Amino acid sequence: MPSFSLVIVGSGGGPDETNLSAYLFKPFDSAWEDGILALEAGSGQGALAQLLRQNPQLFDSPGLASSSTRSKPFTSAEIYSLVTAFLITHAHLDHINSLVISAGSLKGTRKRIYASKQILQDLETIFSDRIWPNLASWDEGDEEFKLLYTTLQQSHYDVVYPSVSVCCMPLSHGHNSGGCYESSAFFVRHDASSCEFLFFGDVEPDKVSSRPRTLHVWRAAAPKIPHKLSTIFIECSWPCGRKDDALYGHLSPEHLVDELCALAVEVVNHRRGQTTPPVARTRPLRKRQKKNPVTPDDLLNSLHGLRVYIIHCKDNGDAHPDKPMRHVITEQVNALVAKRGLGARVLVAEPGMSVEI
Ligand SMILES: [Zn+2]
Ligand SMILES: [Zn+2]
């Protein structure tokens, strides 16, 4: 049985404001009515209303008793009233736009905003009574505030919903006047089954970063692939051929495939360690690994069983009028992953798509 049901409200990286990063999910075995987690909040109620007009059955959960008894499909406002928490990777507008715009009119229970401390502090500068009224509080006792800032500890699983925990790891997302700009990767775990998915906020390649931090994420992911962790959402904002000095803290297909190779190396190293008999696991293992570095041949099919959803592609309507940029970029990534024989499935993340994880 899958662990999670996820609906993609928006998967783009701009400039189309109707398709910005926004994902809604729940444990597979609970009903949407029981509570929903929002992962990023770029697009929101308007984009979802549009998707529901095209597919009113988007939130049908076949087999779940409470859903089959509903007499009519959910509205977009109903769905967002059921959100119990927002998980935010970083406070760039394309990831928080709808959270801000809807903050004064959200219905339903109080909603936590989970993010790292720095990112919540960034969000506070928007809820400052200048850019937008102050509609969020750090204090649980402030009953009149619908939104509650809640800090995620780094590299530690925090419970964010019954049977769902999130481990937040810092990422580098370019450089600005304040130094290295921080984003986050989330390991989202279904506690009952121990199955997880990995979701990346915007991220730059370790190869060009002044503070490479993605390798830590790959090291944490490698032992779980593919049985405990079979799905990754990762950005690829640009198409092939983008120059390194014009990445602006994002990935291109060439760099994304290098990153996936870095993951594959960690997976191979982990499996080598695992298959070594316990008696031989001290000094001889280190010696053997030094003599046998991971070669391109070792990486063949090492990511078999892994699905990689490409997200946050930036639109460029003029270049490919008949084909959304997310299709162009996903095909490019797919070709490069196939060339290296990594064995991962590379998939496009479409708005309005349901994903079982
Ligand atoms: Zn973004
Ligand atoms: Zn960003």
* d(CA 65, ligand 1 centre) in Å: 37
* d(CA 42, ligand 2 centre) in Å: 11
* d(CA 66, ligand 2 centre) in Å: 38
* d(CA 172, ligand 2 centre) in Å: 10
225 CB neighbour count, 10 Å cutoff: 24
* d(CA 296, ligand 1 centre) in Å: 32
Which ligand is nearest to the Cα of residue 20, counting in written order? 1
The whole-number pLDDT of residue 142 equals 92
pLDDT in tens, 92-109: 999 999 999 999 999 999
* d(CA 182, ligand 1 centre) in Å: 12
Which ligand is nearest to the Cα of residue 176, counting in written order? 2
* d(CA 47, ligand 2 centre) in Å: 20
Which ligand is nearest to the Cα of residue 173, counting in written order? 2
Which ligand is nearest to the Cα of residue 12, counting in written order? 1
Mean pLDDT within 186-192? 98
CB 201 within 8 A of CB 184: yes
Which ligand is nearest to the Cα of residue 248, counting in written order? 2
Q: State yes or no: pLDDT of 278 exceeds 60.
A: no
Reduced to 3 DSSP states, what percent helix, strand and coil does the chain have, rounded to the nearest 5? 30, 25, 40
Percent of all residues in the chain with a pLDDT value above 70, rounded to a whole number: 92
Q: Among 168-177, 191-200, 219-228, 290-299, which is the least confidently predicted range?
A: 290-299
At residue 283 the predicted structure's pLDDT band, cuts being 50, 70 and 90, is low
Per-residue CA distances from 273 to 32, 132, 223, 285, 344 (Å): 41, 52, 10, 7, 22
At residue 71 the predicted structure's pLDDT band, cuts being 50, 70 and 90, is confident
* d(CA 63, ligand 2 centre) in Å: 38
* d(CA 153, ligand 1 centre) in Å: 22
Mean pLDDT within 193-197? 98
pLDDT in tens, 107-139: 999 999 999 999 999 999 999 999 999 999 999
* d(CA 173, ligand 2 centre) in Å: 7
pLDDT in tens, 246-259: 999 999 999 999 99
**Domains of the chain from N-terminus onward:** 4-356 (3.60.15.10)
The whole-number pLDDT of residue 349 equals 98
Transcribe 41-104 into DSSP letters: ESS-HHHHHHHHHH-TTTT--TT-HHHHT-SSPPPHHHHHHTEEEEE-S---HHHHHHHHHHTT
At residue 70 the predicted structure's pLDDT band, cuts being 50, 70 and 90, is confident
* d(CA 321, ligand 2 centre) in Å: 25
**Which helix (H) or strand (E) is 151 found in, with range?**
strand 147-151
Residue 92 makes CB contacts below 8 A (sequence gap 6+) with 202
- CA–CA separation, 229 vs 245, rounded Å? 33
Mean pLDDT within 156-163? 96
The whole-number pLDDT of residue 277 equals 55
pLDDT in tens, 14-52: 999 999 999 999 999 999 999 999 999 999 999 999 999
Mean pLDDT within 175-193? 96
Percent of all residues in the chain with a pLDDT value above 90, rounded to a whole number: 88
* d(CA 79, ligand 2 centre) in Å: 26
Q: State yes or no: pLDDT of 224 exceeds 70.
A: yes
CA dihedral 273, 276, 281, 287 (to 10 degrees): -80
* d(CA 281, ligand 2 centre) in Å: 42
